[in-house]
Amino acid sequence: MPLKLYKRPNGIWHIRGTVQRVRYDESARTRVKSEAEAIRAKLEADAFKRAVYGDRAVATFAEAAEGYMRAGGSPENLTPLLLKIGPRRLSDIKQAVVDQIAADMHPTGKPATRIRKVYTPVSAVLNYAAEQGLCDPVRFRKPRVEQQRVDYLTPAEAETLLNILPGDLQAIVAFYLATGCRATEALMLDWRDVSPKGERVVFWETKGGYARGVDLQRRAKALMPPPATGPVFTRWADYDAVNKALNRATEANKFRHVHCHLFRHTWATWAYACTRDLTFLMQQGGWKSAGMVTRYAHAASPDLADAVLDAGWEFGGREVVSLAKARMKPRRSA
C-alpha cells in the first residue's frame, strides 16, 4: 500500500506504508500536516526510485556520511555540513555546489580554512560513497593556498616566554615545545603512557587516529609534576590561559600573542634543524607524508640548531649526537 500519514497523540505526524515490497514506518518529525505531506511524498518518490533504479539514484550526503563514520572515517567538521547539505542527493553535489557551500559557510574564511572544513570532508564522504557504488569518484578543484611563512619561536623567545609564565603553565608549555604535541594530546596523556624512567611518552588520542610515541626531553621532564596515576596534567592549560598569563605580565616583559600551532611549529623547526631527518619528524610529529613537513626545513638553519642545543633542548637521532660532538671539538686556528 502507498505511504500514509497518521497523527500520534502528541501531535507528531507519522508515515507508514509499503513501497515496492519495502515497509516504511517512521516519524515525519513535524506537527504541521502540510510539511508532513511534503515529507511523505518525497519519501514515497525516493523509495520508488530506490527500488527501481537502486540506491545510487537517491542516496543522500547524510546517508553516505553515516556509512563513512561507521567505517571509521573522521567525524571532524561533518556536523555543520550535515546540517547544510544532509538531505542533498550525492548526484547533485558538483563543483559549483561545493564552491557555494564553502562561500556560504565561511564567507570570510581563508582558502586553507575552506579546504579543511568543506572540501576535504565532502571529498572524503563522496569518495567513500563511490567505493560503495553510490556515486562516481570525485575530484574537486580546491582554492589556491598561498605559501605562508612558518611561525615559530627562537630559543631566546622560548626562554623569555617560559620565564614569564607561572609554574603550571610553564610546565605544559615546555612539554609542548619538547614534544610537538597538540593541546588535546597533552590533555589526554595519562601517567601509564609515560615510560618508567620518563624517557618517552605515547599519545593514544591523536588527530590522525593512531598512536604516536615521542622522546621526552630533559627540560620537559624537569618541569613535569611528580609521577602519579591518572592524567599527567590535571589543570587544562589552553592557549587562552597562556595568553592571559602573558597579558598579566609587566609591560617590560610583554610577549607576543601565541596561537594554537605556534609551539608545534617550533618543535618541528627545531627538530629538523637538529636532526635533518624528515622521517624522524613524520614519526614523532604524526605527519603522514614528507611533503607536509618539508616547509619546516627552510627555516631550520645550522645556527638555529646551535642555539637550540645551547639552550638545553635535545632531539633523538645520530645527527644530533654528531652535531653535539662537533660543537665540543676545538676549532683550528687559521
How do the domains of the chain map onto residue ranges?
4-53, 61-131, 155-328
Give the span between the Cα atoms of 3 and 23, in whole angstroms. 9
- Mean residue pLDDT of the chain comes to 82
What type of residue is 314?
Answer: E
Task: Give pTM, 2 decimals.
Answer: 0.59
| Alpha helices (H) along 54-146 | 61-70, 78-85, 95-105, 111-114, 120-131
CA pair distance 204, 287, nearest whole angstrom = 15
What are the grid coordinates assigned to 319, written together?
645527527
> Taking residues 111-127, what's their average pLDDT?
91
pLDDT at 41 over 70: yes
Q: What is the CA radius of gyration of the chain?
A: 27
pLDDT above 80: residue 328: no
Half-sphere exposure of 290 (CA within 13 A, CB side): 6
Distance of CA 330 to the CA centre of its chain: 46
**269 backbone dihedrals φ, ψ, rounded to 5°:** -65, -45
pLDDT tens sequence across 192-219 = 999 888 888 999 878 777 788 888 888 8
pLDDT band at 250 (very low <50, low <70, confident <90, very high): low
Pull the grid cell for residue 222.
Answer: 624537569
Over residues 21-45, mean pLDDT: 82
Q: With bands split at pLDDT 50, 70 and 90, how would you rate the model's confidence at 51?
A: low
The pLDDT-based confidence of 223 (bands split at 50, 70, 90) is: confident
Q: What residues contact 1, with CB distance under 8 A and at least 6 apart?
A: 17, 18
- pLDDT digits over 138-164, tens only? 889 999 877 667 789 999 999 999 988
User: Which overall architecture, per CATH, does domain 155-328 show?
Assistant: Orthogonal Bundle (1.10)
Instruction: Using the predicted structure, report yes or no on whether residue 221 has a pLDDT greater than 70.
Output: yes
Residue 43 has pLDDT above 80, yes or no: no
pLDDT of res. 286: 85
Position 84 pLDDT exceeds 80: yes
| Residue 312 pLDDT > 60 | yes
The whole-number pLDDT of residue 288 equals: 78
Query: Per the structure block, which three cell numbers stand in for 118?
Result: 568543506
CB 315 within 8 A of CB 270: yes
> How many Cα atoms within 13 Å fall on the side-chain side of residue 246?
19
Q: Which helix (H) or strand (E) holds 13?
A: strand 13-19
Task: List Cβ<8 Å contacts ≥24 apart for 224-232.
Answer: 224/171, 224/175, 224/198, 225/171, 227/191, 227/194, 227/198, 228/191, 229/191, 229/192, 230/190, 230/191, 231/187, 231/188, 231/189, 231/190, 231/191, 232/186, 232/189, 232/190, 232/191, 232/194
